[in-house]
Amino acid sequence: MASLTLPPYDEEHSGVTDLKPISTSDVNRYGRPYYVRRRDPDARVCIPPLSRNLKDMGGRGEWTLCVHPEGAPYFMHSEKKYFTDAQLNDATQRAAINNYVATFESLLASKKIEMTDDLEVVLELIPGEGSTDPSCGYYIADNSQRTLFWMHEYEATSIVDECDGVLTGSHLSLALEAKYWYETDSLSSLITLAIIIFTFSIANDKEAIRTRSLAQETLLFSALFDVTSVITALVLIRQHRTLPKDDAGAAQRYLWSKPGGLPGLAVAYSIPYALALWSIVGFTGAIVCVAFDINPALPHTSNGVQARIAAVALCGCLVSCVAWVLLMDCDEFMTNFGEFNEKIWDAVYTLKLRITNFRMNREPGHAGALPRDRIQIV
């Protein structure tokens, strides 16, 4: 356990003291108004002598630029576990973040708090109103306990706003753990991308037309598992998001009106997770086959009946999984189908009425169009 050796915390002389506790969802990663300024055409661009590492010409100091798998840049302190999405290439924001780091460490020292290796601090610059200086939001992530905590009192109403019942410590613990995992929701897409890239990397030989290796077959099965997992997850998410969040009656009807009751609904919601796990297992097995040269060829000629039967059986199981998830939404589907069917018949009735009136208008001596109640539809 590493302790901090810092000067005592003096709130009046610590520079910036406006630290505010925030949650992971308060980090505005994709809504930052950062724009690249146009360079002056007359400005000189000079490289200092003996400069080999030109990546740090912006003067970020001990801050290292990292890139999130989704593409968003963020910065990490190379010596201390501080993270921020602030634009540290800007001297003003870099100075503000450094001041907040010093303030935060002084606050830790004043409270005699020791920072262990499994703790991480995230800092978020909050723009001030008008010309006022920005404040700084923060949260501390405990990787061992998988939770968040703060050194100030945190207003957690926004975290538990969907729970109107009596709150206990276990409820808050689960809510904080959900916020801890907030930024790990891109796992499925990353697994899919890795499987596709690895599949194409080992399937580029001409013999793959007639024969396939064990690793290729395993990867294809893994890709099928993963795609089915994504499809079923999207269907279930759509069903869940259409429900009103503050209506207990709607939630009860959703839980008890599905085929098979709660067990059937539990099976449906476990399908995406189970398929994702099997996808990871298949992907790992393919890597093991390639790494340890356990990769026999599987013939795909007319004699390769076993592989075809296995593929058909697997596809049948996956189709059954998708059908079961869609069955959970059958009541809404039938309602929508009924409305659609009614609109179709109304359109057919209107078209029939217009055709009949048109024919009667062309007949000599007609007395006008027949009223609607005298038209017989066959």
Domain ranges of the chain: 1-28+58-160, 186-328
Average pLDDT, the chain: 73
- Per-residue b or e along 84-96, where b marks 16 or more CB atoms closer than 10 Å to that residue's CB: bbbebbeeebbeb
Mean pLDDT across 222-245: 80
Cα 243 to Cα 45, 246, 324, distances in angstroms: 58, 9, 20
pLDDT digits (tens, 9 = 90+) for 13-23: 333 457 889 88
Top-confidence residue, 169 or 53: 169
Beta strand 63-67 with 73-77 is: antiparallel
> How large a percentage of the chain has pLDDT more than 70?
66
Residue 43 pLDDT > 60: yes
Report the distance separating Cα 217 and Cα 22, nearest Å: 47
What does each C-alpha distance from 91 to 105, 113, 207, 226, 236 come to in angstroms? 21, 30, 57, 44, 46
The whole-number pLDDT of residue 101 equals 92
pTM, to two decimals? 0.47
Average pLDDT over residues 351-362: 73
pLDDT at res. 16: 42
What is the distance between the alpha carbons of residues 324 and 271, in angstroms, rounded to a whole number? 9
**Residue 59's pLDDT band (cuts 50, 70, 90):** low
Q: Tens digits of per-residue pLDDT, 180-224? A: 776 444 334 455 556 556 555 555 555 444 556 777 778 888 888
- By the 10 Å C-beta count (0-12 exposed, 13-18 middle, 19+ buried), 144 is classed as exposed
